[in-house]
Structure 1
């Protein structure tokens, strides 16, 4: 067991291999093509192949083939084994050094409280998908959640197709504006309870760690802004994105937050990512 942990730690001791693993963790439950990883991290394909092979051999990454492409996912079980071994041994030897860990473990066994929760949806442009998610959750459960959205590189204006869909669905669009994630970082920012990325590009970017360790999940889906064709075809893409997000948010609001501990809740929001991303409204 110790040799397995040493191999995992040695593998993650390389800056770029660690960056790959962190990206795949952010993309759970997705399986990500090697080419997308290379583009997101600026790593040459030949070099990336070597890094992915090392991570796979260490049991930190799994690989599967889809057609001619190789897809990679974070091996959560392998990472959990490493963490459990490290911390269990550490706490047996020097529990005073692991006080923060034991506190986190106790917190993980407690249900979430019944207060109002802060939720942030992130995409790259903050012009369509994250705006949809913000509007849907506010309308469906605004009494239980304070809802925000932001972009890692927000566009200067909201997408007109997205605004049209929201107006047709009876949402108040007057409260919406494009924002940067920096508004939700720093001492004056709200303490976030949930952070959801709704596009792959935003999830590929390594945002700074959020204070308070909010529960995070990746709910990626196709970008309706990139849809081509007639106006009707483009409009359909926005309707489908809205419908898929509404399905996921409906499932999220149905979770019994007052009875689920953090671990169970994390698994639940990860499962929601598997709901059909092509659903109609």
Structure 2
């Protein structure tokens, strides 16, 4: 066992292999095409192949062929076993120091006491998907959640189709604006309970660790901004994205947050991110 662990740590000790591993971890449980990984990390195909082969041999990732595309995902069982072994060995006698359940627990949302869960939705431009999610969260569970959104490379203006869909659904669009992620990373920024990425590109980018160790997940959806055709066809793409996000947020808001331990909660939000990629509302 120790030899296997030593080999896995050696593989992860290489900065570029670690970058591949971290990207796949941020996107878990998605399977990511090799071409997307290479593009996100700026790697040549043969260089990426060498890195993922080392991770495959160490048992840290799995590979699947879909048509002509090779796709990769974290092998979570092996990864958990690796780090469990280290934590149990290093923290013997003090498991409360290392256990995932030693992370800060969620407080009970009590609006009367002034506590509400804080949720951040992230995409690249903060002009469509994350703006839709922010508005929906505020609408369906505004009594318990404060909703925010931001972009890693925000656009100067909101997408007019997104604004139009929100207005049609009765949302207050006057409070919306495009915001840079840096706005929520200073010492005076809100401390989030949940952080969700809603586009693949944002999830592929490196982000600093969030204060307070919020529960995070990837809820990626196709970019409706890229829809082509008539205005009616493009509007339909935004309607479908709105519906998919609303379904996910309704499922999330219905979770019994107080009764779930952190691992169960993480599993639940990951599973929500695997629901349909489009919807109606």
TM over 0.5: yes
Superposed, 1:159-178 pairs within 5 Å as 159-178=159-178
Aligned to 1:38: 38
Give 1:34 shift.
0.3
Q: Distance in 2 between matches of 1:48 and 1:277?
A: 28
1:101 corresponds to which of 85, 98, 102: 98
Q: Deviations over 1:85-139 (max 9, x none)?
A: 01111122x74xx77425x53447x665334110000000000000000000000
Question: Is this contact kept in 1: 2:30–2:73, CA < 8 A?
Answer: yes
Q: Distance in 1 between matches of 2:263 and 2:107?
A: 10
Q: TM-score scaled to structure 2, two decimals? A: 0.95
Aligned to 2:112: none
Q: Distance in 1 between matches of 2:58 and 2:137?
A: 40
Question: Is this contact kept in 1: 2:126–2:179, CA < 8 A?
Answer: yes
Question: Is this contact kept in 1: 2:153–2:180, CA < 8 A?
Answer: yes
Q: Distance in 1 between matches of 2:177 and 2:269?
A: 26
Q: Distance in 2 between matches of 1:217 and 1:140?
A: 20
Q: TM-score scaled to structure 1, two decimals? A: 0.95
Aligned to 1:113: 108
Aligned to 1:50: 50
Aligned to 1:251: 251
Does residue 71 of structure 2 align to residue 71 of structure 1? yes
Give 1:59 shift.
1.1
Aligned to 1:181: 181
Q: 1:51 to 1:99 in 2, by over 3 A?
A: same
Unaligned runs of 5+ in 2: 110-114
Question: Is this contact kept in 2: 1:111–1:259, CA < 8 A?
Answer: no
Superposed, 1:156-235 pairs within 5 Å as 156-235=156-235
